[in-house]
Amino acid sequence: MTASYTPGFDDRPGPDHRDAPPGASAPSNASAFDEDQLLTTAEVALMLRTPNATLRTWRYQGIGPRSFHLGPRGIRYKKSDVLTWLDRQYGVAG
Protein backbone atom coordinates (compact mmCIF):
# COMPACT_ATOMS: atom_id res chain seq x y z
CA MET A 1 0.00 0.00 0.00
CA THR A 2 1.42 3.38 -0.98
CA ALA A 3 0.56 6.63 0.71
CA SER A 4 -0.53 9.52 -1.43
CA TYR A 5 0.33 13.11 -0.71
CA THR A 6 -2.12 15.96 -1.10
CA PRO A 7 -0.74 19.47 -0.68
CA GLY A 8 -2.33 21.19 2.28
CA PHE A 9 -2.98 24.77 3.31
CA ASP A 10 0.50 25.22 4.76
CA ASP A 11 2.21 23.97 1.59
CA ARG A 12 1.60 27.21 -0.29
CA PRO A 13 4.63 29.27 -1.24
CA GLY A 14 5.18 32.52 0.60
CA PRO A 15 6.22 33.77 4.01
CA ASP A 16 5.65 31.45 6.92
CA HIS A 17 3.74 33.12 9.77
CA ARG A 18 3.29 30.01 11.92
CA ASP A 19 6.45 30.81 13.91
CA ALA A 20 5.42 34.39 14.70
CA PRO A 21 5.62 35.34 18.38
CA PRO A 22 2.38 35.35 20.37
CA GLY A 23 0.48 38.61 19.96
CA ALA A 24 2.05 39.38 16.59
CA SER A 25 -0.30 40.97 14.09
CA ALA A 26 -1.66 39.08 11.10
CA PRO A 27 -0.15 39.60 7.64
CA SER A 28 -1.20 42.91 6.07
CA ASN A 29 -3.17 41.18 3.30
CA ALA A 30 -5.39 39.34 5.81
CA SER A 31 -7.91 42.19 6.01
CA ALA A 32 -8.03 42.47 2.22
CA PHE A 33 -8.79 38.74 2.02
CA ASP A 34 -11.55 39.12 4.60
CA GLU A 35 -13.26 41.91 2.61
CA ASP A 36 -12.97 39.97 -0.66
CA GLN A 37 -14.42 36.86 0.92
CA LEU A 38 -17.15 35.27 -1.20
CA LEU A 39 -20.46 34.82 0.58
CA THR A 40 -23.48 32.69 -0.30
CA THR A 41 -27.04 34.01 -0.32
CA ALA A 42 -27.67 32.32 3.03
CA GLU A 43 -24.59 33.96 4.58
CA VAL A 44 -25.59 37.42 3.33
CA ALA A 45 -29.15 36.84 4.55
CA LEU A 46 -27.80 36.08 8.03
CA MET A 47 -25.52 39.10 7.88
CA LEU A 48 -28.40 41.42 6.91
CA ARG A 49 -30.96 39.59 9.07
CA THR A 50 -33.31 39.17 6.14
CA PRO A 51 -34.84 36.06 4.52
CA ASN A 52 -33.11 34.40 1.55
CA ALA A 53 -36.22 35.10 -0.53
CA THR A 54 -35.84 38.83 0.06
CA LEU A 55 -32.29 38.73 -1.33
CA ARG A 56 -33.52 36.81 -4.37
CA THR A 57 -36.23 39.42 -4.92
CA TRP A 58 -33.76 42.28 -4.53
CA ARG A 59 -31.41 40.56 -6.97
CA TYR A 60 -34.24 40.17 -9.51
CA GLN A 61 -35.25 43.83 -9.08
CA GLY A 62 -31.63 45.01 -9.20
CA ILE A 63 -31.82 46.82 -5.86
CA GLY A 64 -29.83 44.53 -3.54
CA PRO A 65 -26.11 44.09 -2.96
CA ARG A 66 -24.02 43.36 -6.05
CA SER A 67 -23.84 39.64 -6.81
CA PHE A 68 -22.56 37.33 -9.52
CA HIS A 69 -22.98 33.76 -10.77
CA LEU A 70 -20.29 31.28 -9.83
CA GLY A 71 -21.11 28.32 -12.01
CA PRO A 72 -24.58 27.49 -13.28
CA ARG A 73 -26.45 27.93 -9.99
CA GLY A 74 -24.04 29.42 -7.48
CA ILE A 75 -24.79 33.02 -6.56
CA ARG A 76 -22.01 34.73 -4.64
CA TYR A 77 -21.50 38.13 -3.06
CA LYS A 78 -18.18 39.80 -2.28
CA LYS A 79 -18.23 40.84 1.36
CA SER A 80 -16.85 44.27 0.44
CA ASP A 81 -19.75 44.79 -2.03
CA VAL A 82 -22.30 43.88 0.64
CA LEU A 83 -20.70 46.28 3.14
CA THR A 84 -20.60 49.08 0.54
CA TRP A 85 -24.26 48.51 -0.32
CA LEU A 86 -25.16 48.51 3.36
CA ASP A 87 -23.34 51.82 3.91
CA ARG A 88 -25.27 53.36 1.01
CA GLN A 89 -28.56 52.16 2.50
CA TYR A 90 -27.69 53.80 5.79
CA GLY A 91 -27.04 57.09 3.98
CA VAL A 92 -30.39 56.87 2.15
CA ALA A 93 -32.37 56.24 5.35
CA GLY A 94 -30.59 58.95 7.36
Q: Is residue 17 a part of any domain in this protein?
A: no
Helix, strand, or coil here: 81?
A: helix
Domain interval for residue 64: 37-94
Q: Looking at the 3D structure of the chain, how many domains does it have?
A: 1
Residue-by-residue pLDDT tens, the chain, 94 positions: 555 544 444 444 444 445 555 555 555 555 566 768 999 999 999 999 999 999 999 999 999 999 999 998 899 999 999 999 999 998 776 5
Q: Is residue 85 a part of any domain in this protein?
A: yes
Read off the CATH number of the domain in which 49 is found.
1.10.1660.10
Q: Is residue 1 a part of any domain in this protein?
A: no
**With left for phi above 0 and alpha for psi between -120 and 50, is residue 62 left, alpha or beta?**
left
Span 34-60, pLDDT tens digits: 768 999 999 999 999 999 999 999 999
Are 76 and 38 a contacting pair, CB within 8 Å?
yes
Q: Is residue 26 a part of any domain in this protein?
A: no
Q: Is residue 2 a part of any domain in this protein?
A: no
Helix (H) or strand (E) holding 69: strand 68-70
* Angle between the N-to-C axes of helices 41-48 and 52-61, in degrees from 0 to 180, rounded to the nearest 10: 100
